[in-house]
Amino acid sequence: MGKLFLAGFIFLFAESCKKGEASVQNFQQGDAIIRIDSAIAVQQAFNEINGFGLAVAEVSGYVYTTTIPADSISYIADVLNSKKYIHKGSFSANVFPYYLTKVVYSASLLRNMTIQNQQDLIATQNLLRMTDDLSSTKYMLLKVPTGQEEYWKNKFQTLSWAKWTELNYSAKINLGI
């Protein structure tokens, strides 16, 4: 369902561009988005970003499995939702069993990933026996110095573990509905 929604959104965006009804606005100053290679664990990505002295604002797309049985999903969700960097506003931990195998998966949006929160996440993953599922949709929103967004975008593009980088652009779309 999500892929269908994304495909529909891309189609509508492309159609709007053809009609000249979509325009890219300025990018969000101080932001850079980096797509992480699927084989890179979150701890390795954190270490790389921390080495540059940059802040990690958001992390998404990391999917984990656990050896904890499916009848303990509420326990897993409770532990994850006790973390302020996971349970914030309307966002909470996403924990579910795959219906065929009953393997438990977790995929959560992580926010404000300070070094302390990064260390807590790694400890929590160890506690919950979580293993990276090597998803191909790993992204990080990084905070970079204002005015240096292009520099960091270009720098990240040279790194082997970065699939691509982009500035945090926004678009205005008139669907004519």
Per-residue pLDDT reduced to its tens digit, 34-51: 999 999 999 999 999 999
Only one residue has tokens 């921390």, namely: 50
Mean pLDDT of the chain: 86
Our measurement of the distance from residue 90's CA atom to the centroid of its chain's CA atoms, rounded to an integer in Å, reads 16
For 71-85, how does the pLDDT look when each residue is reduced to its tens digit (9 = 90+)? 999 999 999 999 999
Contact indicator for 42, 121 with CB cutoff of 8 Å: yes
Q: Given CA atoms 95, 122, 128, 87 in this order, what sign does their dihedral have?
A: negative
Which of 20-24, 132-136, 150-154: highest mean pLDDT? 150-154
pLDDT at 87: 83
pLDDT at 22 over 60: no
pLDDT at 83: 95
In 38-109, DSSP assigns E strands to: 55-60, 64-66, 95-97, 104-106
pLDDT at 1: 44
pLDDT category, 136, cuts 50, 70, 90?
A: confident
pLDDT at 18 over 90: no
pLDDT at 21 over 90: no
Comparing CA positions, the residue from 94, 138, 89, 145 lying closest to residue 112 is: 89
The pTM (predicted TM-score) of the whole model is: 0.79
Contact indicator for 34, 140 with CB cutoff of 8 Å: yes
> What phi and psi, each to the nearest 5 degrees, are found at residue 103?
-70, 135
Amino acid at 177: I
% pLDDT > 90, the chain: 69
